[in-house]
């Protein structure tokens, strides 16, 4: 059989349903081999969007999302999405074409060493040089993509290898290995926790990856220990749970860190340093740490370990629970929770024109009724979502955090709807981020998908302005001219709605979510609230 046919059979064997990408001259054999396959090639308009789709698909399913590009510019267009999957630990397999091996030793049309280019943003990265090695390389790529900590891998298929005749068959797919912490480390961790009077749990992305949200909630409830989550672990406890102290991740001192200031032990569960560096929540290295994660802790002066449980997060929590005594919930936590509820919802009903970001977040929460998957782009709106939006379920709020890349929302919504067609999906984006990949509305329309896009519209890069004003008390070079977003949507056959006053948003959102089509909602936003929030956090004083 042809080598590209064998490659596709190996992908089928791995359970691949979708490949996001763009055909090119040097991957034509591979694309032709897909014709007889059940795998669907999702044709996009830019390879960056293809990588974002694979990234989000991997985060939502736990299975590697797959993206495809040709050589040269097609391959380098994948870089941003691959970097996002690498730092946010999403399983992703990137496949790129390449020039024939006979011409890669010299200057050649569109040729650069893509394996070398991708080396620093992939877990594993391999060019296929011998056709009969394809089954081994594909199996290894998918295995590496999901092993803790998950991330991006890359396979390069030169055009002359793709068309060769070869023999082979896919290798058996092995179950993802799982490890348990040692008995001695469990005993040590239990001893440290039992000595503490005021412990707090910091839940991170690893809780989502190991599907351990139920075990985390059961552990917290059984031991009466409050839980704080990172941006990427939203929903590990429902929004109204009495033990949740909501979200950390703002680099400024936020109110939730009062709990850290009062605690005598931080139990980190599935926490990745890329989410929120310890110096932001343990700035004097005064809090002792019990580390529970699939891999040993990163070395950091602000992360003083008392105990370390290395293994599957779900198994670690289950094994630790019988060894830990139930705590008395310290009074300061109860008071902090009351203050947090008051502060985080104080502006839910703000009325006016343009619309305050707090009101937009509150109305999204009301409209989606705890069921939607929210895909947040990066910009000023991301910080408001991270701080105020509390989902009811884990892995229902996707935020690009480690790489923090603009342009992910619309491609991410497409991936979310393909991964979970039964769920409502909302892409929340700024106008700057939307314009980077808004053209993928055409892809969504062609696929017959239905989701809602909400644009925070201020005709500038609002997050950069926020940073500039905080640092220099002035801003520069952040304003731009937007198109008419309703006309833009209409040009793709997508329905558009305009919001200029807060009272218009909720009924429009409810109508959009009840429709079976793509709806774009363009909201004029009042970002004067940004600097007010920074000042409030700058004046942060812990009063418990």
Q: 341 in helix, strand or coil?
A: helix
For the chain, what is the domain count? Answer: 3
**Do 47 and 68 fall within a single domain?**
yes
**Do 365 and 244 fall within a single domain?**
no
Tell me 483's DSSP state: -
Tell me 25's DSSP state: G
- Tell me the pTM: 0.95
Residues facing 156 on adjacent strands: 96, 127
Contact 200, 216 (CB under 8 A): no
**Do 350 and 421 fall within a single domain?**
yes
Query: Which of 317, 336, 355 represents a domain boundary (last residue)?
Result: 336
The pair of three-digit structure tokens given for residue 513, joined into one six-digit string = 């979510």
| 226 Cβ contact partners less than 8 Å away, ≥ 6 residues apart | 200, 201, 220, 243, 244, 245, 259, 329, 333, 337
Q: Which residue has the tokens 């490949």?
A: 19
C-alpha gyration radius of the chain: 24
CB atoms within 10 A of CB 422: 6
Contact 71, 117 (CB under 8 A): no
H or E element that contains 377: none
Contact 276, 202 (CB under 8 A): no
- Containing structural domain, residue 119: 3-162
d(CA 154, CA 142) in angstroms, rounded, equals: 10
Q: 437 in helix, strand or coil?
A: helix
The pair of three-digit structure tokens given for residue 408, joined into one six-digit string = 């992910």
Amino acid 469: pLDDT: 86
**Do 111 and 65 fall within a single domain?**
yes
> Is 239 a member of any domain?
yes
d(CA 457, CA 462) in angstroms, rounded, equals: 9
> Is 56 a member of any domain?
yes
Exposure class string for 161-173: b at 16+ Cβ within 10 A, else e: bbbbebebebeee
Comparing CA positions, the residue from 410, 412, 365 lying closest to residue 88 is: 412
What is the tens place of the pLDDT at every residue in 484-514? 999 999 999 999 999 999 999 999 999 999 9
**Do 380 and 445 fall within a single domain?**
yes
> Is 544 a member of any domain?
no
CB atoms within 10 A of CB 531: 15
d(CA 360, CA 452) in angstroms, rounded, equals: 14
What CATH number does the domain containing 200 carry? Answer: 3.40.50.1220
d(CA 198, CA 263) in angstroms, rounded, equals: 5
> Is 254 a member of any domain?
yes
Give the Å distances, CA to CA, from 78 to 11, 255, 354.
20, 38, 36
> Is 170 a member of any domain?
no
Q: Return the sign of the alpha-carbon dihedral for residues 34, 36, 38, 42.
A: positive
**Do 371 and 249 fall within a single domain?**
no
**Do 424 and 402 fall within a single domain?**
yes
> Is 404 a member of any domain?
yes
Comparing CA positions, the residue from 16, 51, 56 lying closest to residue 37 is: 16
**Do 323 and 380 fall within a single domain?**
no
**Do 332 and 383 fall within a single domain?**
no
**Do 115 and 257 fall within a single domain?**
no
Q: Which residue has the tokens 């979200």?
A: 247
| 365 Cβ contact partners less than 8 Å away, ≥ 6 residues apart | 389, 390
H or E element that contains 471: helix 462-472
> Is 58 a member of any domain?
yes
Amino acid 261: pLDDT: 87
Tell me 231's DSSP state: G
**Do 240 and 380 fall within a single domain?**
no
Query: Which of 162, 197, 214 represents a domain boundary (last residue)?
Result: 162
In the chain, which residues have pLDDT < 70? 101, 106, 109, 251-253, 534-544
Q: Which residue has the tokens 């680099």?
A: 251
What CATH number does the domain containing 390 carry? Answer: 3.40.50.970
What is the tens place of the pLDDT at every residue in 354-365? 999 999 999 999
Contact 25, 110 (CB under 8 A): no
Amino acid 287: pLDDT: 87
Q: Which residue has the tokens 């790129």?
A: 96
**Do 383 and 524 fall within a single domain?**
yes
Outline where DSSP puts E strands in 110-249. 124-127, 152-158, 199-203, 227-229, 244-247
Contact 62, 91 (CB under 8 A): yes
Contact 390, 234 (CB under 8 A): yes
> Is 100 a member of any domain?
yes
Tallying the residues shown for the chain, one arrives at 544
Amino acid 12: pLDDT: 98
Amino acid 408: pLDDT: 98
Binning the chain into helix, strand and coil, the percentages to the nearest 5 are 45, 15, 40
Query: Which of 287, 303, 336 represents a domain boundary (last residue)?
Result: 336
Outline where DSSP puts E strands in 334-467. 373-376, 397-399, 425-430, 452-457
């Amino acid at each position: 059989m042809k080598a590209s046919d064998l490659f596709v059979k190996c992908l089928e064997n791995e359970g691949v349903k979708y490949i996001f990408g763009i055909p090119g001259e040097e991957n034509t054999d591979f694309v032709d081999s897909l014709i007889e396959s059940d795998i669907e090639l999702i044709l996009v308009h830019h390879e960056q969007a293809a990588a974002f789709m694979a990234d989000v698909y991997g985060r939502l399913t736990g299975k590697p999302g797959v993206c495809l590009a040709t050589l040269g510019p097609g391959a380098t267009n994948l870089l941003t999405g691959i970097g996002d999957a690498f730092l946010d630990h999403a399983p992703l397999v990137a496949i790129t074409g390449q020039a024939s091996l006979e011409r890669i030793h010299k200057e050649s049309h569109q040729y650069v060493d893509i394996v070398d280019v991708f080396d620093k943003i992939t877990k594993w990265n391999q060019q296929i040089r011998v056709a009969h090695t394809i089954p081994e390389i594909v199996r290894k790529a998918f295995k590496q993509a999901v092993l803790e900590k998950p991330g991006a891998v890359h396979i390069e298929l030169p055009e002359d290898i793709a068309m060769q005749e070869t023999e082979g068959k896919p290798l058996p797919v092995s179950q993802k290995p799982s490890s348990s912490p040692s008995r001695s480390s469990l005993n040590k961790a239990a001893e440290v926790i039992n000595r503490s009077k005021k412990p707090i749990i910091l839940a991170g992305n690893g809780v989502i990856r190991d599907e351990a949200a139920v075990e985390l909630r059961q552990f917290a409830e059984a031991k009466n220990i409050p839980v704080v989550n990172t941006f990427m672990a939203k929903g590990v406890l429902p929004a109204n749970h009495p033990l949740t102290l909501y979200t950390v991740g703002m680099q400024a001192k936020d109110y939730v860190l009062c709990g850290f200031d009062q605690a005598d032990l931080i139990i980190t569960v599935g926490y990745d340093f890329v989410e929120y560096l310890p110096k932001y929540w343990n700035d004097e290295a005064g809090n002792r740490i019990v580390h529970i994660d699939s891999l040993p802790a990163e070395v950091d002066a602000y992360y003083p370990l008392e105990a370390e449980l290395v293994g599957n997060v779900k198994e670690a929590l289950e094994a630790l629970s019988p060894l830990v005594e139930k705590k008395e919930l310290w009074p300061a936590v109860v008071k902090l929770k009351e203050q947090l509820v008051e502060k985080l919802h104080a502006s839910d009903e703000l009325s006016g024109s343009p619309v305050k970001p707090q009101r937009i977040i509150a109305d999204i929460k009301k409209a989606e009724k705890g069921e939607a998957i929210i895909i947040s782009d990066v910009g000023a709106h991301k910080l408001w979502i991270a701080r105020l939006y509390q989902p009811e379920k884990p892995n229902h709020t996707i935020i690009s955090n480690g790489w923090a890349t603009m342009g992910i929302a619309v491609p991410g919504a497409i991936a979310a709807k393909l991964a979970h067609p039964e769920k409502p999906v909302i892409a929340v984006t700024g106008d700057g981020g939307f314009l980077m990949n808004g053209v993928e509305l055409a892809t969504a329309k062609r696929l017959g998908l239905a989701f809602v896009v909400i644009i925070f519209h201020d005709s500038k890069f609002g997050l950069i302005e926020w940073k500039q004003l905080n640092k220099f008390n002035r801003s520069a070079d952040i304003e731009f001219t937007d198109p008419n977003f309703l006309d833009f949507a209409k040009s793709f056959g997508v329905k558009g709605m305009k919001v200029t006053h807060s009272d218009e948003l909720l009924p429009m959102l409810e109508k959009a979510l009840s429709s079976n089509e793509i709806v774009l909602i363009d909201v004029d936003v009042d970002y004067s609230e940004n600097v007010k929030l920074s000042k409030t956090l700058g004046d942060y004083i812990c009063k418990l």
